[in-house]
Structure 1
């Protein structure tokens, strides 16, 4: 059983503080976005930090699990917190996520399209993003689009 499952057994659906780790994978003016299976939204690959795990390793692990890509060197992009980090999932679970975001163009491996969490992975031009961006990730995706100087702390 992982940390989140253990905590959920104790507190039910009440708000839980989590640390999300994600990677902006770029190719020129394009960003790799994942079309989620649990909602009709697009976002960057990433997931929740496990106990004792380094944030950079969590970002690499999650990106590889979701995309099949192996992440090389990454730059720190930013820390995002606040009300925009709130989510309530279909099962009623509530979280406030502090999100640690990295950026890279250094990837190897074969990009997979579908798995348990992904309907598809697509590189989108920064000026032609899908309208249904994940509301919890939109601010750092837009910071990438507008080339906000990094590291960003919000």
Structure 2
């Protein structure tokens, strides 16, 4: 499967989680958002007027290409990408690395999706790795709420995403 084919599968998961509604929640640190694309992190875009097709290309160019997700097993790649859209790439990869350690694989936790992490993900029991990755993501979301109580409004959705 090519990188673009894997992305095409992953983006459907992301868009299902993000939805297509324009939102401007005052406690959302990304500011106005549509299709999960936040104005704050994409100041050159008018997110309010984004079409689905434009959002897909933004995700391809800015959030997928160059991040090496295609070197992960398919289900893990999709999950890490979905988390990266929401948590940031480094945090999502850190969750993966912690999950790999929870599965007994030795990897450095550095937030970099390099050869060591990708190789360990290939070697891991995929069901155990997915369960550990979901748990790590949920822990990260809970930590965000613990650090900033105003983020509690997002916790339910975040945990649904973590365990999806």
Which structure has the larger Rg? 2
Q: TM-score, normalised by structure 2?
A: 0.25
Instruction: Give the structure with the higher percent helix.
Output: 2
Q: TM-score, normalised by structure 1?
A: 0.26
